[in-house]
Structure 1
Amino acid sequence: MTASSASSALPTPLSKPWLASYEAGVPHDFTPSGRTLFQLLEDTANRFPQRTALHFLGQNTSYKELVKRVKRFARALQRSGVKPGDRVAIMLPNCPQFVVSFYGTLLAGGVVANTSPLYTPSELEHQLIDSGSETLVILDSMYPRYAEIADRVPVKRVFVTRIQDELPFPKNLLYPIKAMREGTLASDSFKRDPKAVPLRFVLKLQDADPVPVTVGADDVALLQYTGGTTGVPKGAMLTQRNLVANAEQSRAWMVGLQEGREITLAAIPFFHVYGMTTAMNMSVLIGATIVLVPNARDIKMVLGEISRTRATLLPGVPTLYNAINNHPDTAAHDLTTIRACISGSAPLMQETARAFREITHGANLVEGYGLTESSPVTHVNPITGEQKDGSIGLPLPGVDALVMDDAGQPVPTGEVGELWVAGPMVMKGYWNMPEETAKVLREYAGKTWLLTGDMATMDEQGFFRIVDRKKELIIAGGHNIYPREVEEALTAHPAVLEAAAVGVPDAYRGESVHAVVALKPGMQATEKEIIAHCRQLLSPYKAPRSVEFRDELPKTAVGKTLRRQLAAEARERLEKEKADKSA
């Protein structure tokens, strides 16, 4: 290619070849409404007051009632001392209490700190301290994990809730009996904590008249914790504008949606920003009924809720669709009402998409892409238009995207570079980490760009494809796993001298964690012992599923462990073992 021809193929921030590939009805221009998240909810409640907003295991809550409960929780927060800007950690699965706590916190002027129900006590401790959360909303079964670290964190007040608090009669009475028989009945030890109060009493006794608080579109609404190449968890500061804009962008992409008539099966967790945007906020925006599934791994429940509620939308991750495809009960359920699904958080295998479309008789399952730092969706394949296998699709309306070289200049169309994105959904920065913020936010051509760390290409039609991850992330079942965090747990074992964590192919999860360790001289450990040790320190999905022992790990001249080499070698060994078995 000559210099002149290469130059002519260079994209610019003003050229948007993807617009010509948009399906009919998708707007080419986008301006966010500037509403706050509570205004989003209130506007929908005014349009569809009697529409069922939440369906939870047989219990329905209308939009009118939801707004009333949100106001009650906001008032309760204010009376307990929560001030505008204070962080409120929410550690709940998908249930009505999550939705009420989320919007109620924002109405009171607080900032939500999304907290994974899978966190170990040490992970919870770090986030509560880093976020400075003085308020915690938590499920009773998770309270013991908090109790372990309660005297080391800044929490001043705890709202405790139970699954049965939101169940209809007689399920609310039968649930504890069922849990007792299964050995899963939660302890009531929280009743001895002077800082803890039952959330159900608060919502029942509180008036729905919170003190008005001025909340602007550029105020931080959410601290969504992510990791990075260093493995240090970082709180992405997502503003009201970021989250509302991304819900509006996602809605603009899905041109066939019917306001006030859709039913979203919300199995993807709301504590994950992808679930929050596509299953919760976008559903609220269009007046959809949100069918809450507290445990996405309970595929039998997922199938039952789809067929019982006649769900039409199913945002999720590849693991969910793959599990549905392969569950023995799938054939006994009618899944044909599902019309559209956006798969995110991990690469979608084409066989998974093909099988799911066949099972549902044509549901449009398409792959999308995003990052925590972009609220998160930036790219999606056309819902009904042309799609390209292996592509993450086209930038959403209002999203600018470039593929850049290491010098910060656009590369020719079709060549590999780092994906940069800009738009109203890009975060404000990392919480109390200006140096980390400066590494990923950059000014260019009059816009603020987010450097994704992912290596990509863009073709002439504007379709993007991720070819490699600059960050050495491991993505298992839609969860981002950062090698450094796993390595910290590995090296905490008394027998481990050094360790590396890499991702290896996994037919079910997409990837799984493989550990490579070198033991201290004279020390011994087994694979089983190493895995058990990690499970004490990490959430189950982060713990290694296989361990390889070496005398030493390969390193660069400056002593940096060659993770990519270890990953390549592990994959080669797995392929050889697979080939030997089939021979």
Structure 2
Amino acid sequence: MTLTRHFAYWPKGVPTSITVPKTTLYDNLLVSARRYPDKTAIYYYGTAVTYDRLLAEAKALAGYLQHELGVKRGDRVLLYMQNAPQFFVSFFGILAAGAVVVPMNPMNMTEELRFYIEDGGIETALVGQELLPRITPLQKETTLQHIVAAAYSDYIEGTPKYALPDVVTAPRQTDVGDDVVLWADALNRGLQPVDVGTTCDDLAVLPYTSGTTGRPKGCMHTHRTVQANVAGGANARMTTPESVTLTVLPLFHVTGLVHCMNVPVYLGATSVLMTRWDRETAAQLIEDQRVTSWTNISTMMIDFLANPNLSKYDLSSLASIGGGGATLPAAVGERLKQLFGLNYTEGYGLSETIAQVTFNPPDRPKLQCMGMPCPDVDARVVNPQTLEELGPNEEGELIVNGPQVFLGYWNRPEENAKAFVELDGKRFFRTGDLVRYDEEGYLFMVDRLKRMINASGFKVWPAEVESLLYQHEAVQMACVIGAPDEHRGETVKAYIVLKADYQGRVRPEDIIEWTKDKIAAYKRPRLVEFVDALPMSGTGKVMWRTLQEKEWAQVKA
């Protein structure tokens, strides 16, 4: 049955049920720009982008997409850039054109992009100029026809007092070739979009999650499913139009997309935007802009608190800090409480639930805890084989039903059949995570049923990395596992059996170097160990769990 015991500890002032807006995400920007035209929507290293300007540029981009590039309602458009004002403009511009945003990790390399483009039937991409060398080889060779290139320095005005990443100071490239359109040129056309009648049930976002078999899968989210977590996120943190959010989580990731961009726009609040994480700059911005809320990942929090200069800054404006992706060590959470009097509120979610599906109450959080089900979420812990519902402190698979759960995987009927189960007339998503709940209804992660590595909050599927390693001429067999890492939580390690001809001729560092231009940085093996053989089961399957348990046992020893 539905978990209910957590309601006894529900945070004061937070509703247990939320009415999801029946409007689009683009409507959120329209309303906020109408209400607060002169208010700062984005503060970018000294440049203030008002809501009026954000809307005008989103409209100009939408008009260009429709009239010049032929983008139609329901088309998928790739959004492949780092955190910058152009990401905001692109996101809302794509939606204003009636199209679907496909947010892409800027660490992805050419061959990874090839799959996404072909799988999504993508014809148009909005790209950070520094990423052009990776994507232009795919233009015309795949379904990709059109590229619009953005220079982040276009939005830097005057001489900023902050240390800027090189990618932000890089001047606009003009020699991008005839098949690439410059961002400024697209916007300067001043074309206005045509309303194509998008509704809350149209697809809005198609974030990809890596597949268990190495094939990434697009998660189909409508405006309605995303709005559920946008409205829910605003309520859970009790944020207001006067809130100021430090936006440093990558916006391509569902947590950053929802909490650091869409929630502030929904409220008419301000996003203080950083392209790259830098603890000194973050402290400066919190002090200068009186930041009130900050959603991050544990590695950022650890680094931030380790700054020996932290006491120099006035960080008293901070009222809310939390995050997810990777568990925050208890000692770090306690130090945060000691220094700032703030609780670190963790949550849990997936691409399939467009960020949070559980949250910790701000007034009564538990450290290293997933929290309790979000408003309107039916969460259950079941036996993975029988689907029998389990009681307190019994370990089972978490299944969820809620307004933020995706429709299914893009063009993956077989995967969809495995991903959902029906109970009591409801459709539940099988998370693949082993959890338990305590006597108060708080959920805790135990393990994963799915074979996945969590490196600093980024999800890595070993099968994808193994598929790459088998392309190396020296590799006979490979097994990829998650090894403990003090900073990242887990890191990627590859056990490799070399072909006989290459033994003694290839070093582990050679393998690591070979992967560098072939796969995103967070997926690359950081550790490689050559072995004579891999442990095999009686049926001939590699016993990856044996290797993983060996790695973690060494830490505990």
TM-score (norm. length: structure 1): 0.91
**1:200 pairs with 2:184:** yes
**1:399 pairs with 2:377:** yes
Q: What CA distance in whole angstroms lies between the structure 2 residues aligned with 1:67 and 1:143?
A: 26
Matched residue type, 1:125: R
Match of residue 284, structure 2, among 285, 294, 304: 304
Partners of 2:241 and 2:264 within 8 A in 1: no
Q: What CA distance in whole angstroms lies between the structure 2 residues aligned with 1:329 and 1:89?
A: 40
Matched residue type, 1:226: T
Residue 412 (structure 1) aligns with = 391
Task: Give 1:295 shift.
Answer: 0.9
Residue 140 (structure 1) aligns with = 129
Q: What CA distance in whole angstroms lies between the structure 1 residues aligned with 2:151 and 2:64?
A: 18
Task: Give 1:370 shift.
Answer: 0.4
Say if 1:175 and 1:476 are closer, same or farther in 2 by CA, change over 3 A: closer
Residue 133 of structure 1: SS of its match in structure 2? Answer: coil
Matched residue type, 1:550: V
**1:127 pairs with 2:116:** yes
1:224-246 Cα offsets, whole Å, 9 max, x none, are: 01013212111111110011111
Residue 169 of structure 1: SS of its match in structure 2? Answer: coil
Task: Give 1:175 shift.
Answer: 8.3
Matched residue type, 2:21: S
Q: What CA distance in whole angstroms lies between the structure 2 residues aligned with 1:365 and 1:309?
A: 21
Q: What CA distance in whole angstroms lies between the structure 2 residues aligned with 1:300 and 1:485?
A: 36
- Return 5+ residue gaps in structure 1 as ranges: 1-11, 577-583
Partners of 2:495 and 2:529 within 8 A in 1: yes
**1:340 pairs with 2:320:** yes
Task: Give 1:113 shift.
Answer: 0.7
1:302-321 Cα offsets, whole Å, 9 max, x none, are: 22222221111110111111
Match of residue 220, structure 1, among 195, 199, 203: 203
Q: What CA distance in whole angstroms lies between the structure 2 residues aligned with 1:100 and 1:189?
A: 23
Partners of 1:250 and 1:396 within 8 A in 2: no
What are the within-5 Å matches in structure 2 for residues 280-299 of structure 1? 280-296=261-277, 298-299=278-279
Q: What CA distance in whole angstroms lies between the structure 2 residues aligned with 1:464 and 1:179?
A: 40
Q: What CA distance in whole angstroms lies between the structure 1 residues aligned with 2:273 and 2:497?
A: 45
Partners of 1:28 and 1:397 within 8 A in 2: yes
Matched residue type, 2:96: L
1:383-424 Cα offsets, whole Å, 9 max, x none, are: 12x222332101111111000112122112221110001111
Residue 66 (structure 2) aligns with = 78
What are the within-5 Å matches in structure 2 for residues 97-496 of structure 1? 97-170=86-159, 188-190=174-176, 192=177, 194-207=178-191, 209-255=192-238, 257=239, 259-296=240-277, 298-359=278-339, 361-384=340-363, 386-405=364-383, 406-496=385-475
Partners of 1:141 and 1:186 within 8 A in 2: no
Task: Give 1:62 shift.
Answer: 1.4
Alpha-carbon RMSD: 2.0
Q: What CA distance in whole angstroms lies between the structure 1 residues aligned with 2:136 and 2:546?
A: 42
Task: Give 1:293 shift.
Answer: 0.5
- Name whichever of 350-359 and 226-235 sits farther off: 350-359
Say if 1:188 and 1:561 are closer, same or farther in 2 by CA, change over 3 A: farther
What are the within-5 Å matches in structure 2 for residues 32-111 of structure 1? 32-80=20-68, 81-111=70-100
Q: What CA distance in whole angstroms lies between the structure 1 residues aligned with 2:256 and 2:125?
A: 21
Residue 534 (structure 1) aligns with = 515
Residue 529 (structure 2) aligns with = 548
Matched residue type, 1:112: V
Partners of 1:273 and 1:372 within 8 A in 2: yes
Matched residue type, 1:253: A
**1:567 pairs with 2:548:** yes
Matched residue type, 1:432: N
Residue 494 of structure 1: SS of its match in structure 2? Answer: coil
Matched residue type, 1:231: G
TM-score (norm. length: structure 2): 0.95
Partners of 2:41 and 2:51 within 8 A in 1: yes
Task: Give 1:171 shift.
Answer: 5.9
Partners of 1:339 and 1:362 within 8 A in 2: no
Q: What CA distance in whole angstroms lies between the structure 1 residues aligned with 2:305 and 2:214?
A: 34
Q: What CA distance in whole angstroms lies between the structure 2 residues aligned with 1:185 and 1:555?
A: 54
Task: Give 1:496 shift.
Answer: 1.0
Q: What CA distance in whole angstroms lies between the structure 2 residues aligned with 1:489 and 1:130?
A: 19
Residue 398 of structure 2: SS of its match in structure 1? Answer: strand
Partners of 1:473 and 1:481 within 8 A in 2: yes
Matched residue type, 1:398: D
Partners of 2:370 and 2:442 within 8 A in 1: yes
Partners of 1:394 and 1:464 within 8 A in 2: yes
What are the within-5 Å matches in structure 2 for residues 3-42 of structure 1? 12-13=1-2, 16-42=4-30
Residue 514 of structure 1: SS of its match in structure 2? Answer: strand
Partners of 2:40 and 2:50 within 8 A in 1: yes
Q: What CA distance in whole angstroms lies between the structure 2 residues aligned with 1:481 and 1:568?
A: 18
Task: Give 1:445 shift.
Answer: 1.2
Residue 63 of structure 2: SS of its match in structure 1? Answer: helix
How many residues were matched structurally?
552
Residue 500 of structure 2: SS of its match in structure 1? Answer: coil
Q: What CA distance in whole angstroms lies between the structure 1 residues aligned with 2:172 and 2:513?
A: 24
Where does structure 1 differ by over 6 angstroms across 4 or more consecutive aligned residues?
Answer: none
Q: What CA distance in whole angstroms lies between the structure 2 residues aligned with 1:79 and 1:119?
A: 29
Q: What CA distance in whole angstroms lies between the structure 1 residues aligned with 2:35 and 2:147?
A: 34
Task: Give 1:188 shift.
Answer: 4.3
Matched residue type, 1:499: A
